[in-house]
Structure 1
Amino acid sequence: MIEVKDLHKSFGDVEVLKGISTTFEKGKTNLIIGQSGSGKTVFLKCLLGLFNFEQGCIAYDGKIFSELSEDEKRDLRGDIGMVFQGSALFDSMTIAENVMFPLRMFTKQSKSEMQDRVDFVLNRVNLSDAHNKKPSEASGGMQKRVAIARAIVNKPKYLFCDEPNSGLDPKTSIVIDNLIKEITEEYDITTVINSHDMNSVMQIGEKIVFLKNGLKEWEGSNKTIFKTDNTAVTDFVYSSELMKKVRQMYIEERQ
């Protein structure tokens, strides 16, 4: 579990995060959503320890990050897996070498042990025959699966995903969503996903935190988001014609 209390973050005179408090639960897919400029990317970077903040605290399973020693912070980073928006694979490396990279950084495993782990996670994301390919030879969906394999290769306690469906077609997006949810439940990971994709919200949004202008405007789940009368949330959720139809279907089913 990750607990956030009264988080404030500014850049110069501009306050981007204005006192956010929430929790992200273990074994669940936790989504951060909101319009561009809402503060969700800054929030995610604070959770990752990439940004310092002026006020508040973030605790990982009861351990407050700001109170950790440098060695403890390094250990914590070894417990974090990250799926970047653009996958962020190394073009000069094979897929297997990309996935092995965190093991080289954070463990002292032998080459055979690392290879066994790479084989296992690539098989888990259905890429058992892709070891020797370069990222440029893989489709966008395959690259995302490689990024997920790399993120979980070190058996993380916390998994962060920044717009994991960016640039993917709807069908492939569903595959990636389901894979993230399966892995979260299978390994009992605290997963936090930064997303603007309403399909993801509907598909895997077990916990949703909606940000607006640096504030936590609403939180709930994909089961409760259609019931809210919060206009900021409904304006965001029903901004597309498709979602308006979904809402109407929901209303009709409730009548």
Structure 2
Amino acid sequence: MIEVKNLHKSFGDAHILKGISNTFEQGKTNLIIGQSGSGKSVFLKCLLGLYDYEEGSIEYNGEVFANLSEDKKRDMRAKIGMVFQGSALFDSLTIEENVMFPLRMFTKLKKDEMRERASIVLKRVNLEDAHKKMPSEASGGMQKRVAIARAIVNNPKYLFCDEPNSGLDPKTAIVIDNLIHEITEEYNITTVINTHDMNSVMEIGDSIMFLKDGLKAWEGSKKTIFKTDNKIVTDFVYSSNLFKKVREAVLKEQG
């Protein structure tokens, strides 16, 4: 579990995060949604320890990250997996070597042990025969699955995903969504996903936080987002006629 309390972050005179509090639960896919400029990316970088903040706290299972020693912070980072927006694979490394990279950084495993662990997670993301391929030989969907394998290779307690469906076709995006959701439940990870994709909200939104102008404007789930009367949320969600029709169908079904 990750607990955020009264988080404030500014850049000069620009007050980006304005007192956000939220709890991200273990074993669930916790989504952060909102329009561009709402503070999603800054918030995620604060969670990852990439940005300092002026006020508030971030607790990982009761431990305040900012109060940890440098050694403890390194230990905490070893418990974190990250799926970047553009996959961020190393072009000069094979897929197997990319997946092994966190093990080289954070463990003292022997090379054979690293290869065995990489093989396990590549199999989990249905890439059993891709070990020796280069990233340039993989499709966008395959690269994203490699990024997920790399993120979970060190058995993390926390998984962060920044726009994991960016650049993917709708069918592949659903595959990636479902894979992240399955892995979250299997590994009992606290997963936090930054997204603007409403299909992701409908597919895997166990818990959803909506940001607007650096404030938490709404929280709920995929089951409740279509029932809300919060205009800020409905303007965002129902900017597409498709989701207007989905909401109408949901409300009609509920009588």
Superposition TM-score, scaled by structure 2 size: 0.99
Matches within 5 A, 1:36-185: 36-185=36-185
Deviations 1:159-189 (A, max 9, x none): 0000000000111011000000000000000
Q: Contact conserved, 2:125 with 2:145, CA < 8 A, in 1?
A: yes
Work out the CA distance in 2 between the residues paired with 1:197 and 1:66.
31
SS of match in other structure, 1:126: coil
Work out the CA distance in 1 between the residues paired with 2:91 and 2:67.
37
Number of residue-to-residue matches in the alignment: 255
Deviations 1:18-51 (A, max 9, x none): 0000000000000000000000000000000000
Work out the CA distance in 1 between the residues paired with 2:121 and 2:66.
32
2:233 maps to which residue? 233
Work out the CA distance in 2 between the residues paired with 1:73 and 1:170.
37
| 1:211 maps to amino acid | L
Work out the CA distance in 1 between the residues paired with 2:232 and 2:13.
25
Unaligned 5+ segments in structure 2 are none
Work out the CA distance in 2 between the residues paired with 1:165 and 1:241.
21
SS of match in other structure, 1:53: coil
1:223 maps to which residue? 223
Work out the CA distance in 2 between the residues paired with 1:224 and 1:243.
14
- Identity over aligned pairs, percent: 77
Runs of 4+ aligned residues of structure 1 deviating over 4 Å after TM superposition are none
Per the TM alignment, residue 66 of structure 1 is displaced from its structure 2 partner at its CA by 1.1
Per the TM alignment, residue 241 of structure 1 is displaced from its structure 2 partner at its CA by 1.3
1:196 maps to which residue? 196
Q: Which stretch of structure 1 is more off in the superposition, 245-254 or 53-62?
A: 245-254
Q: Contact conserved, 2:3 with 2:60, CA < 8 A, in 1?
A: yes
Work out the CA distance in 2 between the residues paired with 1:6 and 1:112.
45
Per the TM alignment, residue 206 of structure 1 is displaced from its structure 2 partner at its CA by 0.3
Aligned-residue RMSD, C-alpha: 0.5
Q: Contact conserved, 2:207 with 2:221, CA < 8 A, in 1?
A: yes
Q: Which stretch of structure 1 is more off in the superposition, 123-132 or 236-245?
A: 236-245
SS of match in other structure, 1:91: coil
Deviations 1:66-116 (A, max 9, x none): 110000000000000000000000001100000000000000000111010
Work out the CA distance in 2 between the residues paired with 1:112 and 1:184.
27
1:209 maps to which residue? 209
1:33 maps to which residue? 33
SS of match in other structure, 2:74: helix
Work out the CA distance in 2 between the residues paired with 1:251 and 1:221.
16
| 1:90 maps to amino acid | F
Per the TM alignment, residue 249 of structure 1 is displaced from its structure 2 partner at its CA by 1.1
SS of match in other structure, 2:49: coil
| 1:25 maps to amino acid | E
Work out the CA distance in 2 between the residues paired with 1:250 and 1:112.
52
| 2:47 maps to amino acid | L
Unaligned 5+ segments in structure 1 are none
Q: Contact conserved, 2:158 with 2:190, CA < 8 A, in 1?
A: yes
| 2:40 maps to amino acid | K
SS of match in other structure, 1:164: coil
Work out the CA distance in 2 between the residues paired with 1:187 and 1:59.
20
